[in-house]
Amino acid sequence: MTIYDISKQAGVSIATVSRVLNGSENVKPKTRKKVLDIIEQCGYTPNVFARGLGLNSMKTVGILCADSSDIYLAKAVYHIERNLKTAGYHSILNCTGYDLAHKKEGLSLLLNQRVDSIIMVGSNFISENEKDNQYIRDAAKQVPVMLLNGDLDCENVFCTMCDDYKSMKEVTGRLLSQKIHDILFLYHSRTYSSMKKLAGYQAAYVSMDLPLSKDLTCFFNGSHEDIDGVCDYLCNLHDKGLRFRAVVAADDMLAVGAVKYARKMNLRIPQDIKIVGYNNSILSVCSEPKLTTVDNHLELLCSQLVKTCICTLGGTSQPAKTIFSGEIILRESANL
Amino acid sequence: MTIYDISKQAGVSIATVSRVLNGSENVKPKTRKKVLDIIEQCGYTPNVFARGLGLNSMKTVGILCADSSDIYLAKAVYHIERNLKTAGYHSILNCTGYDLAHKKEGLSLLLNQRVDSIIMVGSNFISENEKDNQYIRDAAKQVPVMLLNGDLDCENVFCTMCDDYKSMKEVTGRLLSQKIHDILFLYHSRTYSSMKKLAGYQAAYVSMDLPLSKDLTCFFNGSHEDIDGVCDYLCNLHDKGLRFRAVVAADDMLAVGAVKYARKMNLRIPQDIKIVGYNNSILSVCSEPKLTTVDNHLELLCSQLVKTCICTLGGTSQPAKTIFSGEIILRESANL
DNA sequence: TTGTAAGCGTTATCAA
DNA sequence: TTGATAACGCTTACAA
């Protein structure tokens, strides 16, 4: 079933069928109706490969994501896909893992598919080592690249992010104001976003003229689902003599690990130890007690990102960076 | 940069370049090397649209998923994508939501993209109302359809699933053996999978000649992330006089809701009330106490499903149904 | 308002 | 072992 079959049955040329298909004005209403009827009746749908070949686009964007099974990234992918679909675009998903070589591989796979744009989901795609961002710059020479929670100054790269620095500074500052000066900062990746959070944590101390202890900046080197591992890690630190009356974590999973630690140590939350999570994920409500956490308005970020993407593809100039503020969600694990 | 450019630079015809590209034997090694060098040097990659047009395939499968932000479905999508990529296929993701009309829409969007196969992730795509499955049968006339955790007898539809009936019967049976006869079955969707779980729950009673109480089969009508809602729901049931010493839930989120309920009612877990989850998700470890739950080997299911998909596309005949058994994971919320 | 025909970049058949 | 050429099914200038 091709455009030729339709044109024959309708007694018109393929050009006319094509015009009808593409909603051109220059078709006599009567002709349009006849063609439309036959298309309907035959259940004909245009061949997207042929159309793609002619237009050099299949209205598809590539979503690059290290791990779409991660609670937070999964939500991002979901919202991005839904927004893209609304705008008439298809989503090719490519999960790369956290290894740079595989990220490059995934990216080139998508570019070879001739996607109209690339969306990189998660700050882990940006490295502190500028050399490791070159593959993104290269990609941007071919198609517009959208970064969710990543920051890169580059032509044709658009960044949509949450101000993690500000949120974390605010959270830490509130704890410091409560005379809690021994706050442990807990993170488990060195992504752009994590580094911003760390900077915010440190800035809070500095702005209040309080001394920072290196020992309280703690990196958990484990899986992003290993709650027990986090608990053990903290117990270990405690055994080594480290003391702290609060934990601010780079994500909710880490915070839940801290909650488990507190229970194990028979510390009351929040009286003896305050714990703050990040992302306002389902884990923060699942936890007992529930986590005070930061909501970075992911859904909003995603819809803005897709808007930027679509507008860019449509040829209207867009801001290189869009930054939203997070929001502190007060629950039981810390009264800020 | 097209195949013509390469052919000119190499001083051969496009046919030869095409042969090199497709690894044909019938090319003189020396010629092959020359062509390969020029391709490399120019950074040429074939146009997938043109190739797709000629071959009527872009090596792409469509992944249909109601909600890829759901903890469980997200994991499924992730593993499926990774397996497909390994097999050389791209994944177009389409999140439909739970509404039938939108599912049909998503499906036809994918079919119009001329995907090689459709993978439906999650038992929610199968309805008890046979009429509502017709759209799947129709799709199967065009491409092979793979169902994850769904069962449908139909040519060109392949089902890979976990035996939820058996797992749930086993769990319920073990509780009954402990002389706990007032077990509440908690579910929040009427998917194929949920119905299987319910049937397993009921079968355990029947096989032990124990009476079933309709009142203990409880449907929570709320979002799949609303832990507090589940808690309230159970409190409400309690207020109305319903009593139970165990809860078996259709997923971990519901079980966590039951845990919250127990805490609110000052019931000790597992002494006063035993709670069993389903899926062995991160929630089961996040929960306090940790959940006894059922692991249905999702990763294995996904890899088997993709294997079936790829083999079917490759033309080798595959079993219409593949069924795996789940595994009970004992933790703190119930000693089975 | 409609039709003709060129072009998109491959693959594959057939001939040499 | 290679090359010429048709076919894939559409969009779109240009002509009528």
Considering the domain architecture, whether residues B116 and B211 belong to the same structural domain is answered as: no
Tell whether B87 lies on the interface with A, counting CB pairs under 8 A: no
A174-195 pLDDT, tens digit each: 999 999 999 999 999 999 999 9
Q: Do B85 and A94 touch (CB under 8 A)?
A: yes
Helix (H) and strand (E) counts in chain B: 13, 12
Separation in Å, CA A121 to CA A11, A134, A311, B125, B162: 49, 17, 19, 27, 31
Give the sheet arrangement for strand B274-276, strand by strand.
B217-219, B183-187, B246-249, B274-276
Contacts of A288 in chain B (CB under 8 A): 259-260, 263, 287-288
Enclosing domain of residue A188? 164-295
- Whether B24 CB is under 7 Å from strand C: no
A316-335 pLDDT, tens digit each: 999 999 999 999 999 999 99
Q: Which of residues 24-53 of A touch strand D (CB under 7 A)?
A: 46-47, 49-51, 53
> Does A181 fall in a domain?
yes
CA distance linking residue A164 with residue A251, whole number of Å:
11
CA distance linking residue A37 with residue A39, whole number of Å:
5
Considering the domain architecture, whether residues A153 and A106 belong to the same structural domain is answered as: yes
Considering the domain architecture, whether residues B93 and B136 belong to the same structural domain is answered as: yes
Q: Which of residues 5-44 of A touch strand C (CB under 7 A)?
A: 11-16, 19, 25-28, 30-32
Considering the domain architecture, whether residues B153 and B253 belong to the same structural domain is answered as: no
The distance of A321 to chain B (nearest Cα, Å) reads 26
B30's tokens: 């020396």
Reported as a pLDDT band with limits 50, 70 and 90, residue B124 is very high
Which CATH number belongs to the domain containing residue B19 in this structure?
1.10.260.40
Considering the domain architecture, whether residues A247 and A142 belong to the same structural domain is answered as: no
Whole-number Å distance, CA B17 to C1' D10?
25
Question: What percent of chain A has a predicted confidence (pLDDT) above 70?
Answer: 100
B61-105 pLDDT, tens digit each: 999 999 999 999 999 999 999 999 999 999 999 999 999 999 999
Reported as a pLDDT band with limits 50, 70 and 90, residue A277 is very high
A212-239 pLDDT, tens digit each: 999 999 999 999 999 999 999 999 999 9
Which uninterrupted H or E stretch holds A52? Answer: helix A48-55
> Does B179 fall in a domain?
yes
Q: Do A114 and B56 touch (CB under 8 A)?
A: no
> Does A335 fall in a domain?
no
> Does B268 fall in a domain?
yes
Separation in Å, CA A10 to CA A16, A18, A34, A41, A135: 10, 12, 7, 11, 50
Considering the domain architecture, whether residues A172 and A289 belong to the same structural domain is answered as: yes
Written as one string, the DSSP assignment of A282-323 is: HHHHHSSSPPBEEE--HHHHHHHHHHHHHHHHTT----SEEE
CA distance linking residue B241 with residue B219, whole number of Å:
17
> Does A54 fall in a domain?
no
Written as one string, the DSSP assignment of B27-96 is: S-HHHHHHHHHHHHHHT----HHHHHHHHT--SEEEEEES-TTSHHHHHHHHHHHHHHHHTT-EEEEEE-
Nucleotide nearest to B13 (CA to C1'): D3
Q: For position A105, what pLDDT does the model report?
A: 98
Q: For position B233, what pLDDT does the model report?
A: 98
Q: Which residue is nearest to nucleotide D2 (CA to C1')?
A: B16
Q: Which residue is nearest to nucleotide C13 (CA to C1')?
A: B15
Q: Mean of the per-residue pLDDT values for chain A?
A: 97
Q: For position B303, what pLDDT does the model report?
A: 98
Mean pLDDT confidence for B128-136: 96
CA distance linking residue A289 with residue B259, whole number of Å:
12
Contacts of B79 in chain A (CB under 8 A): 69
Considering the domain architecture, whether residues A247 and A304 belong to the same structural domain is answered as: no
- Whether A160 CB is under 7 Å from strand C: no
> Does B70 fall in a domain?
yes
A249-271 pLDDT, tens digit each: 999 999 999 999 999 999 999 99
Could you tell me whether strands B90-95 and A90-95 are parallel, antiparallel, or unpaired per DSSP bridges? Answer: antiparallel
Nucleotide nearest to A26 (CA to C1'): C1
Mean pLDDT confidence for B3-25: 95
| DSSP assignment letter at B187 | E
Of A159, A118, A124, nearest to A139 by C-alpha is A118
Considering the domain architecture, whether residues B202 and B215 belong to the same structural domain is answered as: yes
| Counted domains in chain B | 3
Q: Which phi-psi region, left, alpha or beta, contains residue B106 (left: φ > 0; alpha: ψ -120 to 50)?
A: alpha
Q: Mean of the per-residue pLDDT values for chain B?
A: 97
Q: For position B221, what pLDDT does the model report?
A: 96
Contacts of A85 in chain B (CB under 8 A): 94-95, 109
Q: For position A325, what pLDDT does the model report?
A: 98
> Does B254 fall in a domain?
yes
Considering the domain architecture, whether residues B182 and B33 belong to the same structural domain is answered as: no
B181-221 pLDDT, tens digit each: 999 999 999 999 999 999 999 999 999 999 999 999 999 99
Reported as a pLDDT band with limits 50, 70 and 90, residue B180 is very high
Q: For position A113, what pLDDT does the model report?
A: 98
Portion 219-258 of B in contact with A at CB < 8 A: 225, 227-228, 253, 256
> Does B19 fall in a domain?
yes
Separation in Å, CA A215 to CA A194, B48, B161: 17, 53, 49
The distance of B174 to chain A (nearest Cα, Å) reads 26
Considering the domain architecture, whether residues B139 and B224 belong to the same structural domain is answered as: no
Which CATH number belongs to the domain containing residue B287 in this structure?
3.40.50.2300
Considering the domain architecture, whether residues A182 and A270 belong to the same structural domain is answered as: yes
Considering the domain architecture, whether residues B233 and B287 belong to the same structural domain is answered as: yes
Contacts of B263 in chain A (CB under 8 A): 288
Tell whether B91 lies on the interface with A, counting CB pairs under 8 A: yes
B71 by Cβ neighbours in 10 Å (0-12 / 13-18 / 19+) ranks as buried
Question: What percent of chain B has a predicted confidence (pLDDT) above 90?
Answer: 99
Among partner residues B92, B225, B282, which is closest to A91 by beta-carbon distance? B92
Give the angle A248-A252-A257 at the CA atoms, nearest 5°. 80
Of A330, A328, A324, nearest to A298 by C-alpha is A324
